[in-house]
Amino acid sequence: IIYKLLLLYIITSSVGCEEENEIPSVKSALFHPEDILSFDSWSQDKIDRYQLRLAYEQLLPVKIQKDTKKFMKLVEDCFAGAKKSFEGESLFEVEQILADIFGGYFQEIYLPVLHEAFYSGQADLKTTNQFYEYYKDFKTILDTRGKFWPARKIVKKPIYKVKPLPKNKNTTLSSCSKINLKNEGILREKDTFTNVILLPSLDSMKNPTSILVPFNNDKNFYSLTEADSYNILVTYYNTVYDCVSELSKIENNKILPSMFNHVFYSWLKKNVLPHLKDKMLYVGFSNVKRIEETIKQRQSILEIDFDAVLAENGELNFMEEERKDTTYDNEMSFHKIKKIMDTSSATKKININKRNYIKEAVTSAIVIAIDMKTKEGDTTTETSETMEENIDEYCTTFVHLVLYIMVILLFLIIMAFLIRFFPPNLEELVYLVVIYVKSRNKKK
């Protein structure tokens, strides 16, 4: 019995080490916890249904699927295969099981990944909307709100390597005519950044639903969840950057592209980037991570002390006012501008083809972290900090190694004691080892 318990402990410990590569458990809206407790009273049909659900759960990917279209192909193929193999009531039961599996996976894991892809420019609006349509269909099929599925996870590390925006080769002064300028378009050499360029404005810092963009046309007000706000910040950034690039060529002009990059990046960090982890998908924030990457690559934003630059140009007060802004003040300014601008926005819904099959195989992907740039001039400090961290890491690793060796020695001593005073049944041990090896092979 002692040896059986030891072998059982080894088997369970080894299984625990492989949890990262196991199929994710997405719970169930079909089989509630109280149903599992009454398993003894299940009918054979319900048992068969439960076993089928366990089998279909193996379809879920172990690793994060970075290619959104290929993962969509997997989901569509599963439902298409069910329609070919079943019909009538059997088909409905299988569709319920598939909806239960993918619905739980979407809610817990894939919708947060999809948001990352959307904001990083790796998923277009049509594909993103298709996933949400499927998610809505899954809940409709099961008549559920997702209560029994796992709660939504938050993406803590970058999944995609973000690419910068493509360069605009047609940079002209006409870009300035496309935006509203504070000085009504009368440009002077003595003009500074603060009395020329307007920044976008959200209706709320906490729960934004709309955005005002200072374009010089009849359309300034956009809903952050409607299709017409797609790439609105990209359009604003490119337009203003092109305008400022031309203005910077005027002699003695204090309006610089680097200054716009800094101010707009600060605005993004304060108003937009904190909402990228929200449950709500903001269409108006599409490709915003590409804007962030573009700014960093254009001028190494983390390497420049822009507060000093602004102070030299007499614009330090502007930056302080930006820092002192409250949610209430921001919302008030939004509604004041809203009264002036035309807020009529008739938007059209996109008709989505729910069965747009893509003939490609499903592939797994590895999470890629984005390397952040460090401040210039702090190399010595950062190097010393890094060395201290490395030393701490080495010390911790060494201590763990010593403890690990001590545990092994203790285990060997105990085993020697057991074998000395309680001779084992060799045939029984061999049988248990064979079972263990077979279980490992099946798992692989």
Q: Which two tokens stand for residue 94?
A: 């299988």
Q: How confident is the model at residue 75 (pLDDT cuts 50, 70, 90)?
A: very high
On the question of pLDDT at 96 being above 90, the answer is: yes
> How do residues 187-243 score in pLDDT, each as one tens digit?
554 555 555 788 999 999 999 999 999 988 878 899 999 999 999 999 999 999 988
Give which of 243, 240, 217 is closest to 228, Cα–Cα: 217
On the question of pLDDT at 159 being above 80, the answer is: yes
pLDDT value, residue 171? 57
> How do residues 295-320 score in pLDDT, each as one tens digit?
999 877 444 444 444 444 433 333 33
Measured CA to CA, the distance from residue 224 to residue 234 in angstroms comes to 14
Sheet strand arrangement including 221-223: 201-202, 210-212, 221-223
CA angle 267, 271, 276 (to 5 degrees): 120
Domain ranges in the chain are: 24-142, 173-345, 381-443
Chain mean pLDDT for the chain:
73
> How do residues 78-92 score in pLDDT, each as one tens digit?
999 989 988 998 899
Measured CA to CA, the distance from residue 104 to residue 108 in angstroms comes to 6
pLDDT value, residue 252? 66
Q: How many residues does the chain have?
A: 444
Ramachandran region, residue 309 (left: φ > 0; alpha: ψ -120 to 50; beta: rest)? alpha
Q: Calculate the alpha carbon distances from 259 to 124, 239, 251, 353 in Å.
A: 31, 15, 17, 44
What are residue 212's DSSP bridge partners? Answer: 201, 221
Give which of 328, 311, 334, 325 is closest to 262, Cα–Cα: 311
Give which of 69, 73, 70, 66 is closest to 109, Cα–Cα: 66
Helices (H), 189-305: 232-247, 257-271, 288-299
What are residue 210's DSSP bridge partners? Answer: 223
pLDDT value, residue 194? 55
pLDDT value, residue 131? 97
> How do residues 320-379 score in pLDDT, each as one tens digit?
333 333 333 444 344 433 333 333 333 222 232 322 322 232 222 222 223 333 333 333
Q: What is the percentage of the chain residues whose pLDDT exceeds 70?
A: 63
Residue type, 63: K
On the question of pLDDT at 26 being above 50, the answer is: yes
On the question of pLDDT at 384 being above 70, the answer is: no
- Phi, psi angles (nearest 5°) of residue 248: -65, -15
* CB neighbours of residue 292 within 10 Å: 22
Residue type, 233: L
Q: Is the separation of the CB atoms in 255 and 244 below 8 Å? A: yes
Q: Which two tokens stand for residue 80?
A: 């298409």
Name which residue leads in pLDDT, 110 or 243.
Answer: 110
pLDDT value, residue 258? 87
Measured CA to CA, the distance from residue 208 to residue 202 in angstroms comes to 6
Span 96-111, mean pLDDT? 95
Measured CA to CA, the distance from residue 46 to residue 39 in angstroms comes to 9
The winner for highest mean pLDDT among 14-28, 41-55, 329-343 is 41-55
Q: How confident is the model at residue 439 (pLDDT cuts 50, 70, 90)?
A: low
Measured CA to CA, the distance from residue 404 to residue 41 in angstroms comes to 47
Measured CA to CA, the distance from residue 113 to residue 118 in angstroms comes to 9
pLDDT value, residue 273? 96
pLDDT value, residue 382? 36
Q: pTM of this prediction?
A: 0.64
Name which residue leads in pLDDT, 10 or 396.
Answer: 396
Q: Is the separation of the CB atoms in 367 and 159 below 8 Å? A: yes
pLDDT value, residue 412? 84
Q: Could you give the 3-state DSSP secondary structure of residue 211?
A: strand
Measured CA to CA, the distance from residue 71 to residue 64 in angstroms comes to 10
pLDDT value, residue 417? 80
Q: How confident is the model at residue 37 (pLDDT cuts 50, 70, 90)?
A: confident
Give which of 230, 237, 193, 195 is closest to 215, Cα–Cα: 237
pLDDT value, residue 411? 81
Span 98-122, mean pLDDT? 96
* CB neighbours of residue 320 within 10 Å: 11
On the question of pLDDT at 136 being above 90, the answer is: yes
Which H or E run contains 223? strand 221-223
Q: Is the separation of the CB atoms in 185 and 312 below 8 Å? A: no
Give which of 100, 105, 79 is closest to 31, Cα–Cα: 100
> How do residues 168-182 score in pLDDT, each as one tens digit?
766 555 788 888 776
pLDDT value, residue 388? 45
Span 57-65, mean pLDDT? 88
Q: Is the separation of the CB atoms in 160 and 132 below 8 Å? A: no
Residue type, 122: Q
Measured CA to CA, the distance from residue 362 to residue 87 in angstroms comes to 27
pLDDT value, residue 406? 87
